[in-house]
Amino acid sequence: MTKNPERIVVGLSGGVDSAVAALRLLRAGYRVEGLFMKNWEDDDTLTRCSAEDDIAAARAVAEHLGIDLHHVNFAAAYRREVFEHALAELRQGRTPNPDILCNRHIKFHRFLNYALHHLGADAVATGHYARLDHQPDEPPALLRGVDHGKDQSYFLAAVDPSALHHVRFPLGDTPKDSVREEARAAGLPNFDRPDSTGICFIGERDFTAFMQRYITPAPGPIIDEHGDVIGEHQGLAFYTLGQRRGLGIGGAAAHASAPWYVAAKDGERNALIAVQGHDHPWLQSRSVSTEDFHWLASPREGRLEAQVRYRQQPQSGRLVAQGDGSVAFFFDRPQRAATPGQQLVIYDRDRCLGSGVIASTEPLDTSGLAGHREQNSTEAV
């Protein structure tokens, strides 16, 4: 007796990646259906038009492939579990990563459960560029995508490892250029649709202008490393370490006409600290420490690799457990603009071992920085 093929629900976003993921699963003989998730609701015309374009593109793909397309609204959960958390982090002067939170709480929890329990799916699939190695009696190993320039394992490092048993990543073994060509050859209606960029609830809009709807501006001085006032900021929540654009400093008297970068936040004085020089010592960190570390594999220590941001080249160093569930990573080479609130993601070659929110950093040069260390702590600003 022939076993029925797996029923897989693909998260169709309207983009080319999820469309090709569905196409590949169909060609492999699976029973495929699509699900469009609405994760953000806003009365903003730009956001509303973008969402309408996305659902229209997803519907066109489903019709072309001859599969059913379901709809679900996770906007309330997204606002509660992702957006409100992001706001709280920003108000603390930290820089959160909503995309990682969305994968953990929405795509690989709520979407997964909805597909399994309401739609009767055996598994779900997305267009992420990552791979899974399924082994008996243990959670699947999360691996980098073959296209390291597009690899998205960094964004998946906080997912519940038990969820990965029910997940498929059909694009993990393929370069992005080949995926778009495959979509064109198959006649998919969105083969040339541009990739989405930015945080989903902000999109292409100005970050500061959007966030000022939710966080009251609290202007204060921008000061240089000597304590001299060189400008005014709109509120510490609207800036991140290493930021160059949007400071509005221009040519400061007694300073060379070189770019300025955010190096620190002084919460007590509501001051933003800016320095000149892309690789200024105050922007370099010897090590970072995390909050509770989220393991996708068995905990370990020793020589490994790490990333403190997406698309960063893997950085070698030494991982040390802190004893309270957190970890510290000591880099072989100092890292620029390691930022509290962002994620430290650990790798053993291509395998992603897990992640933790960066709680503090150890600057390369602390001389003169003692009064500006608030950016390297979890204290509220």
> Residue ranges of the domains in the chain?
7-185, 218-276, 281-376
Helix (H) / strand (E) containing 37: strand 31-38
What is the layout of strands, in order, in the sheet containing 260-266? 229-233, 220-223, 271-276, 260-266
Choose, from 32, 51, 90, 102, the residue flagged as catalytic. Answer: 102
363: left (phi over 0), alpha (psi -120 to 50) or beta: beta
Helix (H) / strand (E) containing 209: helix 207-211
343-348 and 302-307 as β-strands: parallel, antiparallel, unpaired?
antiparallel
Residues 273-310: tens digit of each pLDDT: 999 999 999 999 999 999 999 999 999 999 999 999 99
Is 49 among the catalytic positions? no
First to last CA, the chain: 65
pLDDT of residue 119: 97
Q: Looking at the domain that runs over 281-376, which CATH code has it been given?
A: 2.40.30.10
DSSP for 308-340, please give it.
Answer: SSTTPPPEEEEEEE-SSS-EEEEEEEEEET--T
Is 102 among the catalytic positions? yes
Q: How does the average pLDDT of the chain come out, rounded?
A: 90
CATH class of 218-276: mainly beta
Domain 7-185 matching CATH 3.40.50.620: the answer reads: yes
In the numeric block, which tokens belong to residue 128? 């992420």
Residue 105 main-chain phi, psi, to 5 deg: -95, -30
Q: What residues of the chain score a pLDDT lower than 70?
A: 1-4, 43-49, 197-205, 250-256, 366-381
Q: For residues 52-62, b (16+ Cβ closer than 10 Å) or e, as one string? A: eebbebbbbbb
Check: CB of residue 275 under 8 Å from CB of residue 284: no
pTM (2 d.p.)? 0.91
In the numeric block, which tokens belong to residue 239? 């800036």
